[in-house]
Structure 1
Amino acid sequence: MNIEDFRDYCLAKAGVTEETPFGPEVLVFKVGGKMFALTDIDTFGSINLKCDPERALELRDAHDYVLPGYHMSKKHWNTVLIGTGVPLAQLRELIDHSYALVRASLPKAAREAIGEGTGIE
């Protein structure tokens, strides 16, 4: 996956916006105003993704390309290294999981405003 594919994949999900709140080099994707994915625009060497805490630990134990979230809550975020063997299907599933977690945490009115679809097609 390259950065254009990553961007397109994230933006195809219901209610997603992109921003650069940490400066022009960090691309952040949000649903309902909450972050679910971020990456360095210049290098695209990794993606930070929200993750269920138990699953986050399992993924880190099972895969060298999954690390505790860089500059994020280590309990709730993973950093996935790009170009290190992560299968495309798994990367998409990790993005979907992050999106679904954040979307589910939104207030009911915000979820309803986004629509019925999960954005995970």
Structure 2
Amino acid sequence: MDLETFRNHCLSLKLVNEKMPFDKAKGDYAKNLLVFSVFDKWFCFFNVDAFDFCDIKCDPEESEQLRDIYEGIRPGYHMNKKHWISIYFNQDVPDSKILELVNKSYDLVVKGLTKKQREELKNMS
């Protein structure tokens, strides 16, 4: 998986925005995080310099199953370990599975949006 393919996939989802929300002066891993969100609700992020893994939302039960199957899936880095996972690129998780899980993360976030936001999303062409 390369950065541009991954980024383009995230941006292909309805009403997705990308941003780098952290102060560049912090000097830590977070300063180069590229975050993908829908209505300002995060569903995916990764470090643009390292591009070694991404964090995504995940159903807690599925998260356990995925960690049992793949060495490249671990509890979410710096996130709620129950609801987020880290997926390491170029390990044992197929690219198609990574993109599928990004879509599921997006869907989880959309389910948590307000009714008005979901309607707006639904009416987008």
TM-score (normalizing by structure 2): 0.89
* Residue in structure 2 matched with residue 43 of structure 1 by the alignment: 50
Q: What residue is the counterpart of 2:113 in the other structure?
A: 106
Quote how far apart the aligned CAs of 1:89 are. 1.1
User: Aligned runs of 1:47-86 on 2, under 5 Å?
Assistant: 47-86=54-93
What's 1:15 paired with?
15
Higher relative helix content? 2
CA offsets, 1:54-93, max 9 Å, x none?
A: 1111111111000000000000000000011211110111
Cα distance in 1 for residues equivalent to 2:83 and 2:45: 14
Query: What do residues 13-44 of structure 1 show as CA deviations (whole Å, max 9, x unaligned)?
Result: 00100011124510000012100000000010
Alignment: residue pair count: 117
4+ long deviations beyond 3 Å? none
Work out the CA distance in 1 between the residues paired with 2:14 and 2:43: 13
Aligned equivalents of 1:116, 1:92: Cα separation in 2: 24
- Residues in 2 aligned to 1:93 and 1:116: alpha-carbon distance in whole angstroms: 23
Cα root mean square deviation, aligned:
1.2
Where in structure 2 are there 5+ consecutive unaligned residues?
Answer: 24-30
TM-score, length basis structure 1: 0.92
* Structure with greater Cα Rg: 2
Please state how far the C-alpha of 1:116 moved relative to its aligned partner: 4.8
- Tell me the percent identity: 40
Larger relative contact order (CA 8 Å, sep ≥ 6): 1
- Matched to 2:53, the amino acid is S
Question: Which ranges in structure 1 are unaligned for 5 or more consecutive residues?
Answer: none
